[in-house]
Each structure stands twice: as structure tokens, then as C-alpha cells.
Structure 1
Amino acid sequence: MKIGIYGGSFNPIHNGHVYIAEMMIKYLELDKLLIIPVGEPSHRENILLDGNIRLEMCRIAFQKNTKIEVSDIEINSNEVSYTYDTLLKIVKKYPDSEYFEIIGEDSLAYFDKWKNYKDILKIAKVVVLKREGYKTNLKNRNLIQLKNPFLNYSSTMVRKAILLGESVDNMLPKNVVEFIKNKKLYKD
């Protein structure tokens, strides 16, 4: 089985994330794509919205895609989230599979600082999505750099727009927009 692993803060999940997920399923011919909202981030202060709310937004965004599983593997962990540790848990749950860790070029810029990054490259192929303003020279046979379109928005932009009372209808899946409005999220 070919399994994609797409982790992130998803604070909130937006149409760019959805586009990337669907693109990765097709491009990599994945049998399953795991969407993994980060629990306790390893590389920055945790200023994220509650994990269970971010998890729910991801589930809402992908509820109709049968190849996507939104995982609580990091949200329900009491430990700091490291990709390597999560990858080992996935290998244990889905043995004898081919694994594709999906990251942005911004993450690749400091990938050599990740916990056990060389072991990650032995266990999985690391698929790198281009991000505007980033470039790296890291080379490895298990590193796949894609030529993908740049997306014009980020979760930070979405949160800022909500705070300013601007419409985010074109940035988020419709059902996620409704969820955010109903829960009055990102207002402060």
C-alpha cells in the first residue's frame, strides 16, 4: 500500500491544503493519505487553536474523500510532535507499505535539523512542495522535489482576514467556513 503523510498545523485548513492533498493522491498514486494535525509543535511555541478543533476542521474538509484519513495520532499524544516518532507509529500501524512524507520547501530549508532526519529518509520518500521564496540544495535519492503551482494564501492570512471581518469564502472549503462562523473562531 502507498501511504502519504501530510502533517501541519492546519490552523485553519484552507483550500491550498485541500488542493495539495488531492494533487498528492493523484501524482503519487496513493492508496491512502493521512492528514495529521500537529499536537505539540517541536520547532516553535504552541499558539495553535485547540487540537481537537483543528482535527474537526480537517475531518469536515475531507469528509467526502475516501482515500483521506484524518489522524489524531499527534493530537492525542502527550509528547512533543516529531515527524520521526509519528512515522514510526504509522509504520507500526501500516506495516509493509511505501511511505511518502509530504513537506513544504520552507520545512526542507531546516530539514537537516529535524530529529533523526536521515532515518526519515531511509523509511520514507520525502516529497517537497515548492514554496515561494525558498530554495534548498539538500540532495538525497529519497527526496522528491515537485514543481507545483504557488498558492496565494496561508493559514496566517486566513486568520488575519477573519480577525479583520473580511470574507474567507474563497480561501476555505464552504463547510469549514460555516464551522468557523458557528464556533466564532479566530476572532481574538
Structure 2
Amino acid sequence: MGINPAPCVLVLGGSFDPVHGGHVALAQHYVNLLQAQELRLVPAGQPWQKTRLIADAEQRVQMLKLAFETGFKLPVVIDQQEIKRAVQHEASFTIDTLENLRKELGDDTSIVFLIGADQLQNLSSWRQWRQLFDVAHICAASRPGFSLDQAGLNLEVAQEWNQRAGSLQEIRNSPSGKSYFSQDLSWDVSATSIRNELKRTSQTPQTQQTTSLIPPEVLDYIQQHHLYR
């Protein structure tokens, strides 16, 4: 990537109910691609598009710590701003979070917001989704074989995404405004499917089909705290 005068901070938000291997793989994928200096994890307070979360905020933060405590050679920060807003009964949207991060990190930092292909398909429903590009880049990833052309993207999102398409070099060396899509992430799993499987099975390593989908430390935590039964 060459010499970069400003840092690059990756931002991965989500319910993390529970955090799973797909989250870890997405973060690691872009850490490697962009040679980032920091990974910022932002657990949701109470996402406005979802029903009530099963694990509480403290449990989700603990699972994040377990999932990301090893395997990363850069600082990993758990940013609880959305949880704090939920405690105050304040609405919380991604645009608010990214604007707060921009104020904190400065005008020159490359802020890269990471999303999965499923979130990209739903981007048109997000509040002020176009303004996200004013404060960050947006990078998405999917399993091999997934095609944006066949993903059924909202027409306006597809047009905006294509117009803003940039290279990894441009994203690494500018603060915001670009999009990038990678098809090299061989994960295709959702937290919903994992919760359903955890509820259905006996939750033992011998029979638990989700063992390979959840970091082992997180699975131990889930079992110890009797979550998702």
C-alpha cells in the first residue's frame, strides 16, 4: 500500500447476538487487505430494524472480547456508544455513530465501515444511507460466486455503489467516499441461523453443529450462561 500519512480504522457494527466466525472473518479479511491500524467494534444498543435482542449488552460485549482477543495484531476497541444511547432511550443510527467517530478520529483518518452482502442488500432502508459516504468508505464482502448484479440491490443503491467504486489504494489513502466489494470471503452464515441451531441441539461439542461457526471461547460462554435455549 505504500507510505500512508494517516491511519486507517475499520468499523464493524452489529447486534452480535451472538458474535460468530463470519464477523471475525470479515474483520480479518479487510485488516489484511487494507493494513489497518485499528479495528473498532460497535455493538448495537437496540437496533431499530430488529426485534428485541436475546443476549443483553454486557453479555454481547463479553462475547466480542472473547472472539477478538486473539488473532489480531492491531488494537481492537469495543466502542459502546450505541449501547450508551440505548440506556438513555435515545435512537441510534449508523450515520450518528460514524459521524461521532469522524469527530473523534479527525478529518484525515480513513474510516472504513464493513458490512456483509446481506446488509448491502438492505442499505436503502437505512437512515441517511447516502450520507454514510460523507464520513466513511463502505466495504462489503460475500462468499465466492455472489454477484452484485444478481443480488437484487435497490436501484439507487446500485447506482451509488457503482459510481463510488474505488480501489483498495484509494480507500487506504483517503478519508471517505468510496465503495469496495470483495467476493473472497468464504462465509455464509447468519446469527439467526446460529441461534436457531443452538436452540435446537443439545449444545455439546460432540453434537453441536454450530461449533465450527462460533469461536470456541464464545461457545463456552454461551453454554455457561445458558443463552439461546
Runs of 4+ in structure 1 over 4 Å off: none
Distance 1:57 1:48 in 2: 13
Asked if 1 retains the 8 angstrom alpha-carbon contact of 2:9 and 2:40, the reply is yes
User: Aligned match of 1:75 in 59, 83, 90?
Assistant: 83
Cα deviation for residue 73 of structure 1 reads 1.6
Structure 2: state its 5+ residue gaps.
1-6, 165-177
| Deviation sequence 1:144-187 (CA, Å, 0-9, x none) | 11122341422122212211225132111111111111111111
Point out the more displaced range, 152-161 or 131-140.
131-140
Judge conservation of contact 2:9–2:110 (CA < 8 Å) in 1. Answer: yes
Q: Which amino acid aligns with 1:11?
A: D
133-142 vs 15-24, greater mean Cα deviation: 133-142
Report the alpha carbon displacement of residue 76 of structure 1 after superposing the two structures with TM: 1.7
- What's the counterpart of residue 142 of structure 2? 130
Equivalent pairs, count: 187
1:71-110 aligned at under 5 Å gives the runs 71-78=79-86, 79-95=90-106, 96-110=108-122
Deviation, 1:135, is 4.4
Distance 1:106 1:86 in 2: 20
Verify the 8 A CA contact 1:106 1:134 in the aligned structure 2: no
Q: Calculate percent identity across the aligned residue pairs.
A: 25
Secondary structure of 1:45's partner?
coil
| Rg larger in structure | 2
Gaps of 5+ in 1: none
Counterpart for residue 151 of structure 1: 187
Q: State the 1:99 CA deviation.
A: 0.7
Cα pair 1:102 1:127 within 8 Å, conserved: yes
Determine the structure 1 residue equivalent to 2:128.
116
Task: Report the equivalent of 1:140.
Answer: 163
Contact preservation (8 Å) 1:111, 1:117:
yes
Write the distance in 2 (CA, Å) between the matches of 1:86 and 1:48: 23
Of residues 186, 198, 211 in structure 2, which corresponds to 1:162?
Answer: 198
Secondary structure at the aligned position of 1:75 is classed as helix
Instruction: Give the AA of the match of 1:174.
Output: P
* Deviation (angstroms), 1:48: 3.9
Which residue of 2 is the match for residue 176 of structure 1? 218
8 Å CA contact 2:21–2:214 kept in 1: the answer is yes
Q: CA deviation at 1:107?
A: 1.8
Q: Quote the residue 1:15 is aligned against.
A: 21
What do you get for the CA RMSD once the two structures are aligned? 1.9
CA–CA distance in structure 2, aligned partners of residues 27 and 123 of structure 1: 20
TM-score (norm 2): 0.75
CA contact (8 A) 1:52 1:75 kept: no
User: Match for 2:115: what amino acid?
Assistant: I
Whichever residue aligns with residue 107 of structure 1, its letter is Q
Counterpart CA distance in 2 for 1:130 and 1:5 is: 17
Contact 2:26 2:185 (8 Å CA) reproduced: no
Indicate conservation of the 8 Å contact 2:17/2:53, yes or no. Answer: no
Equivalent of residue 55 in structure 2, options 49, 55, 61: 49
Residue 184 of structure 2 aligns to a residue in which SS? coil
| Deviations, residues 113-171 of structure 1 (Å, cap 9, x unaligned) | 32222221122111012265834333232121112234142212221221122513211
Q: 1:127 to 1:152 in 2, by over 3 A?
A: closer
